[in-house]
Chain A
C-alpha cells in the first residue's frame, strides 16, 4: 500500500503496522455543540480517529462537515462521512474541498440509508453518483488533482479514503467481489458493518485473504457492544443487513437484566481479541452507539491503550 501524503493519523497508525482502533460519534439533532464536545472527551486519546456520521439512518442532524471541523478544533482526528443520498456531485466536490481546507484528512464514502427509514421520508433523494463512484471521485481529486470534469484543482484534497463493507448482506457470494471493486476504485481502508456472527466473518475474511485484498487495503472490523438483549433483538429484527446469531441473544438473556450491558461489553472484548489474531484484520472500528462514555473503559479493557 502506497502512502497518500494525506497527513492522516489513522493512515500513520496503519502504515506503521499498529492495530488501529477507531470510534464513532453521531452529531446532535440540533446545534448543541456542548453535547458534542462532551462526547469528544470520552473519545479523545482512546481512538485513532472518530467517524462523524452524515445524517445517519436518514435522520437530520448537524452536518458531518461541521461536526468534523468542531472535532478537529478539539484535537481529535475526524473521519468525515459522506453519503450519496443528500448531495449531487457538485455539492460533494465542494464539501470535500471544504473539509480538507478545515483540516479533515480522512473521509468515508457511503451510499446512505434510504430516506424512507428516516425522519423525512417524503424527501426527494439525490443519488447522483453511488458510493463506488464517490470513492473514485475522491481518488481522482487526490491523485490526479482534478475535478470530475477534468479541470485542475488548485490545492487538491489529499484524503485517506475509506469505504464500508457489509459481509452479511445478501447475496453473500457477491460481498467479497463488491469489496474488491471498492478497493479497485480507490479505498485505502474499509470499516465493516457491525459484526456479531463471528463464524461467518471468519469465512468472509478467508475469502478476503485468499484474494489478497488485505494487502491492498486496511480492513477494520466493526464492533458494537450490545447494551442489552432488547437491543440485540431489535437490531436483529429491524435493522436491515444485520446478522445477529440467536446464540448471542440467548447469552444476553441468560444473565440478569442489570448485568446484560456488562455481558455485551464482554462479548465485544472477546471479539476484539479474536480480531487481533485474525489474518487480514488491521484494526477495529468501535461503534458504541450513544454509548461514547463507555469507550474509555472498552479501550482500556481491550488492551489497546495508549494509542500510538
Chain B
C-alpha cells in the first residue's frame, strides 16, 4: 500500500491560517491502513486544529469526514453538495487525493495534510517499511524475492557495496542491507551463482523516468467484463 506520514500541526495550521471554515477530509484507503488519514485521524486533526486556533484567539469552524477513496472520482463526487460550504478543504489522503479533488472542484482550495512517502507494508504494529519503488518492471524473482531497487540505497543489481557491514546499510544504522539478506538467502538455497551473472542494463522507461505513467485495462474501458 501507499504509506504516508502526517505533516506537522504547525505546517497544517500555517496552510489554513487565513481560513475560517475548514473541512478535514480523510480517506478510507491506504492512509487508513497506515493509521495516518482515516476517519479517526481526521477527527483527531479537526479537534487539534480547533484547539490550536482557539488558543491563538482566532477560533475556526472545523468539520471532518472521510471518503471511501479519494483516488476515485465516483467517491470524490460525493463531496459535490458540501464542498462549497468551506473556505478550504484539508485532505488527509496520499498526494493523489487532493489532486482528484482539485480537478473535480476547481473553485475550492485543497491542502495536503500528509506527506506521501513510499509503497510499503507493516513489519510490526506501528512500523511500515518501503518494499517497492514502482519501477514498472518487477524483477524480485532474480533476487530471492527481495527488491534491491527499492531497498538498496544505491539500487545496486550485483550485490552489496563496500559500505555494508554486519548486515547493516552504510546509510542508516537502523536499516538492514538488503543485499546481505539476498546473498544469505542464495547461500542457504545453494543458488549463489544466480547473483554472479551480469544483469542487463535496466530499462527505466517503465519507471518514473519515462514520464507520468498510465495503466489501461481495455476490457474495463470497453465494459466487456
Instruction: Say yes or no for B207: interface residue by CB 8 A criterion.
Output: yes
| Shortest beta-carbon distance from B114 to chain A in Å | 24
Residue from A116, A121, A124 in contact with B207 in the complex, judged by beta carbons closer than 8 Å: A124
Chain B: minimal CB distance from A11 (Å): 37
* Complex interface bits, A268-292 against B, C-beta within 8 A gives 1, otherwise 0: 0000000000000000000000000
CB neighbours (8 Å) of A124 from chain B are 202, 204, 207, 209
Interchain CB contact under 8 A, A122 and B211: no
CB-CB contacts of B51-68 with A at 8 A, as 1s and 0s? 000000000000000000
A187 CB, nearest partner CB in chain B, Å: 27
Interface residues of A in 68-98 (CB under 8 A from B): none
Q: Per-residue CB proximity of A111-134 to B under 8 Å, as 1/0?
A: 000111000011111000000000
How many residues of chain B have a CB within 8 Å of chain A?
9
CA of A158 to CA of B67, assembled, Å? 56
Residues of chain B within 8 A of A123, CB atoms compared: 204, 209
Q: Is B194 an interface residue (CB 8 A)?
A: no
**Chain B: minimal CB distance from A85 (Å):** 10
Closest A residue to B210 by CB, please name it.
A116
B203 surroundings in chain A (CB, below 8 A): 122
Interface residues in A, total, Cβ within 8 A? 8
Instruction: Report the Cα distance A115→B210, complex, angstroms.
Output: 8
Closest to A126 in B: B209
A251 to chain B, nearest CB (A): 36
Residues of chain A within 8 A of B211, CB atoms compared? 114, 116
Give every chain A residue within 8 A of B210 (Cβ-Cβ).
116, 121
In Å, the complex CA distance between A69 and B205 comes to: 33
Bound Cα distance from A124 to B209, whole angstroms: 6
A residues less than 8 Å from B201 (CB atoms): 122
Q: CA–CA, A194 to B79, complex, Å?
A: 48
Residue of A with least CB distance to B205:
A122
**B 181-225 contacts with A by CB, 8 A:** 201-205, 207, 209-211
Determine how close the nearest CB of chain A comes to the CB of B204; give it in whole angstroms.
Answer: 4
Residue on A nearest B203 in the bound complex, by CB: A122
Interface residues of A in 195-223 (CB under 8 A from B): none
- Within the assembled complex, what's the spacing in Å between the Cα atoms of A121 and B205? 7
Shortest distance from the beta carbon of A123 to any chain B beta carbon, whole Å: 6
Minimum CB–CB distance for B156 against chain A, Å: 13
Chain A nearest CB from B125 CB (Å) reads 36
Shortest beta-carbon distance from B153 to chain A in Å: 14
| Chain B residues in 8 Å Cβ range of A122 | 201-205
Residues of B within 8 A of A115 (CB): 209
Residue of A nearest to B206 (CB): A122
Q: In the assembled complex, how far is the CB of residue A84 from the closest CB belonging to chain B, in whole angstroms?
A: 14
A37-85 residues at the B interface, CB under 8 angstroms: none
User: Which residue of B has the minimal Cβ distance to A124?
Assistant: B204
What is the minimal beta-carbon distance from B134 to any residue of chain A, in angstroms? 13
User: Measured between alpha carbons, how far is A116 from B211 in the docked complex, in Å?
Assistant: 9
Report chain B residues within 8 Å CB of A116. 205, 210-211
**Docked complex Cα distance between A115 and B204 (Å):** 11
A215 to B29, CA, bound (A): 54
Report A's interface with B, CB cutoff 8 A.
Answer: 114-116, 121-125
Q: Apart from A116-B210, A121-B210, list 12 A-B contacts with CB within 8 A.
A: A114-B211, A115-B209, A116-B211, A121-B205, A122-B201, A122-B202, A122-B203, A122-B204, A122-B205, A124-B202, A124-B204, A125-B209
11 cross-chain CB contacts under 8 A: A115-B209, A116-B210, A121-B205, A121-B210, A122-B202, A122-B204, A122-B205, A123-B209, A124-B209, A125-B204, A125-B209
The 8 closest A-B pairs by CB, nearest first: A122-B203, A124-B204, A124-B209, A125-B209, A122-B205, A122-B204, A121-B205, A123-B204
